[in-house]
Structure 1
Amino acid sequence: MEAGNPSSSGVEEPLDPQTERALGFVQMLLEKMEMDAEVSLAPDDGEGSADEIRLEIEGPDAGRIIGKRGSVLEAIQYLTTRVAHKPGEPRKHIAVDAEGYRARHEDQLADMAKKLARRVAKEGKVITFDPMTARDRRVVHMALKDIQGVRTESHGEGPDRRVQIIPVKGAAAPTA
């Protein structure tokens, strides 16, 4: 487990309490699961934001931590969020990834959404995705927010919530 963030001067900066709780919880979970893997803060690649804690799990057992279609990883992220957030603190978004799985998945989802958006803009027909997690819905909304000729909406409740890509009448053809 990492103790802090290296600053530009190479000196370790102390972690905020939410980050410490998140790192400590995932490390404890990996030990209890008897997984040969380590958790650390993901390096700052410019993708994250100041209100986000990004954890990366790496090691021989990291593939098992992902689970079928990311289900175990999703559960770990949910539990980590519940443990790390305390009342009265500003909430930071927590993202837990293993061997880059989530990043690859999100890139593929965004690419697919853009292709479908071009089709919606061209054909004028609504496309509705299968139910997806809140994080996946957000990926679709963010990927399409600047695409001309379409808009997105989420419909449904709980695990049945879906994203729709809807043509915007009178809009020009998509630019992306």
Structure 2
Amino acid sequence: MDNRTNLDDYLAGLGISDADESAPPPPAPDAAPAVAPALGAAHEDPRVVLERFLRGVIARIDPELSVTVTQGEDALEAEITGEHAARLAGRDGRTLGALEVLAYTVLAKLEGRSEQRVRIDVGGYRKRQADTLSKLAERLAVQVAKSGEPHELQPMPAAERRILHITLKEHPDVMTESVGEGASRRLIIKPRHG
């Protein structure tokens, strides 16, 4: 069985690769991983560590991609851009989510950085997702206001629920509430009383 084909099939299933032959060859088995240097000294700027880690990862996926890291209000924010950057999000953002977990883990290795939040966007995926969720919230708010009946959404990650909460925070006719535990946590949009 050809390992190259199996790897390409796997990456294509994640939405990372088109399984084309122009992909860079895999590193030699005895070569040191490109991401190992990201675990720098505890005094190293977390932005530098995050950028180095992400550059190491994307260099193996698509060397044409670039990364920019900034300090946001409540998290380090990284933007990965390039012609095929959006493919790095994977199906339903799963690959992007996994990349964020790995990046957080790398930063957590630094002394005193375990509380550092990380947000990564690839090719505007998170922005488009936030816009879609905001529009959904507004449509559902109109529906709930008209019917007077609450609407319960399917379970969703905290970041997605937060977008809906923020979108409807000041809405005069509806309010939001999160219910449930863990992966079953979901949002309810209900009429605002009074």
Question: What's the TM-score once normalised by structure 2's chain length?
Answer: 0.68
Equivalent position to 2:55, from 14, 17, 27: 27
Q: Tell me if 1:38 matches 2:46.
A: no
In structure 2, C-alpha distance between the alignment counterparts of 1:159 and 1:27, rounded to whole Å: 31
| Partner amino acid, structure 1, of 2:50 | A
Shift of 1:101: 1.1
Pairwise mapping of residues 110-121 of structure 1 onto structure 2 (< 5 A)?
A: 110-121=134-145
Percent identity of paired positions between Structure 1 and Structure 2 = 33
Query: The residue matched to 1:169 in structure 2 has which SS?
Result: coil
2:167 alignment counterpart: 143
Query: The residue matched to 2:134 in structure 1 has which SS?
Result: helix
Shift of 1:78: 2.0
1:65 alignment counterpart: 88
Report how many residues are paired: 150
In structure 1, C-alpha distance between the alignment counterparts of 2:175 and 2:153, rounded to whole Å: 14
* Higher Rg: 2
Runs of 4+ in 1 over 6 A off after TM superposition: none
Question: Which blocks of at least 5 consecutive residues in structure 1 are unaligned?
Answer: 1-15, 43-47, 171-176
1:54-86 per-position Cα deviation (integer Å, ceiling 9, x unaligned): 211112331320111211111111221222234
Q: Tell me if 1:95 matches 2:119.
A: yes
Pairwise mapping of residues 120-159 of structure 1 onto structure 2 (< 5 A)?
A: 120-159=144-183
Question: Which blocks of at least 5 consecutive residues in structure 2 are unaligned?
Answer: 1-43
| Partner amino acid, structure 2, of 1:57 | I
Flag the structure with higher strand content. 1
Shift of 1:136: 0.5
The answer to whether the 8 Å contact 1:19/1:84 transfers is: no
The answer to whether the 8 Å contact 2:79/2:120 transfers is: yes
Equivalent position to 2:189, from 165, 168, 172: 165
In structure 2, C-alpha distance between the alignment counterparts of 1:83 and 1:126, rounded to whole Å: 41
1:85-139 per-position Cα deviation (integer Å, ceiling 9, x unaligned): 3453483432101111110110110121022112212211111111211111111
Question: What's the TM-score once normalised by structure 1's chain length?
Answer: 0.74
Please say which of residues 147-156 and 97-106 is displaced more in the overlay. 147-156
Cα RMSD of the aligned pairs, angstroms, is: 2.2
Compared CA separation, residues 40 and 139, structure 1 to 2 (3 A): same
1:12-68 per-position Cα deviation (integer Å, ceiling 9, x unaligned): xxxx722122212211222344554221136xxxxx843322211112331320111
Shift of 1:160: 2.0
In structure 2, C-alpha distance between the alignment counterparts of 1:29 and 1:89, rounded to whole Å: 21
Compared CA separation, residues 149 and 87, structure 1 to 2 (3 A): farther
Equivalent position to 1:79, from 102, 122, 131: 102
Flag the structure with higher helix content. 2
